[in-house]
A and B are shown apart, each in its own frame.
Chain A
Amino acid sequence: KAGVTQTPRYLIKTRGQQVTLSCSPISGHRSVSWYQQTPGQGLQFLFEYFSETQRNKGNFPGRFSGRQFSNSRSEMNVSTLELGDSALYLCASSPASTMNTEAFFGQGTRLTVV
């Protein structure tokens, strides 16, 4: 069974641009969560989608948005990029709507904003 796939693995963008990151969960998983990892703030929850609906949202500005498609694939978008958005963005998939099992993480997308 294929794992969680995140594309692209690396991305360099200029301040002010926007970016879209993609996450394909494990087959059959309907929950996708996104996390931002930085040296200063650690791992922070961005949002979770389940069956195309956002269920939870972290404390991030509105520039960060996401969506989930009917095949459970998810995208997150960051508009008007700032230098501080440079981070490793991790996606996690889970099979259920509640936490009765583990979350499986992808290898992440490393975003660098210059």
Chain B
Amino acid sequence: AQSVTQPDIHITVSEGASLELRCNYSYGATPYLFWYVQSPGQGLQLLLKYFSGDTLVQGIKGFEAEFKRSQSSFNLRKPSVHWSDAAEYFCAVGVKEYGNKLVFGAGTILRVKS
């Protein structure tokens, strides 16, 4: 079965500092990979996705992620964090054999200190 691991439950970074959120997945083939962000009490907003092709993908709000097949990873990065980036971030895996089903990681809560 597919699984997603986000090893960091909480991360605190200073405003203006760089950010990297880790995500590892377990799946036999190349999955579809996503990063979503959730503000308290809200739904999920897609930051970026990887289906195929270039392993470095750009998303909204200045985020990017790199797919590394050898490490089964899809880490999210941002060069300079803004206070408004404070939220919970979810990595998700989709498998085309299962339609539009997504398997989510446990999430990483990002705190930004000024």
Interface of A with B (CB < 8 Å)?
4, 31, 33, 35, 42-45, 48, 50, 55-56, 58, 88, 90, 92, 94, 96-100, 102-108, 110
Contacts and interface: CB of A to CB of B under 8 A. Distances in A.
Which of B36, B46, B102 has its CB near the most chain A CB atoms (within 10 A)?
B102
B96 A90 contact: no
A104 B49 CA distance: 13
B19 interface: no
Contacts of A102: 34, 46, 49
A96 B102 CA distance: 14
Interface of B: 32, 34, 36, 41-46, 49, 51, 90, 94-96, 98-107
Given A42-B107, A106-B43, 14 more contacts: A33-B100, A33-B102, A42-B104, A43-B107, A45-B103, A48-B99, A48-B100, A50-B100, A56-B99, A92-B102, A96-B100, A105-B45, A108-B43, A110-B41
Given A48-B101, A56-B101, A107 B106 contact: no
Given A42-B106, A105-B43, A108-B42, A98 B101 contact: no
A110 B102 CA distance: 20
A45 B103 CA distance: 7
A41 to B, nearest CB: 9
Interface residues of A, dominant DSSP: strand
B11 to A, nearest CB: 17
B108 to A, nearest CB: 11
Nearest to B44: A105
16 contacts: A35-B102, A42-B106, A43-B107, A45-B102, A58-B101, A88-B41, A90-B44, A92-B44, A92-B102, A94-B100, A97-B99, A98-B100, A99-B32, A100-B51, A102-B34, A103-B100
B99 A31 contact: yes
A82 to B, nearest CB: 23
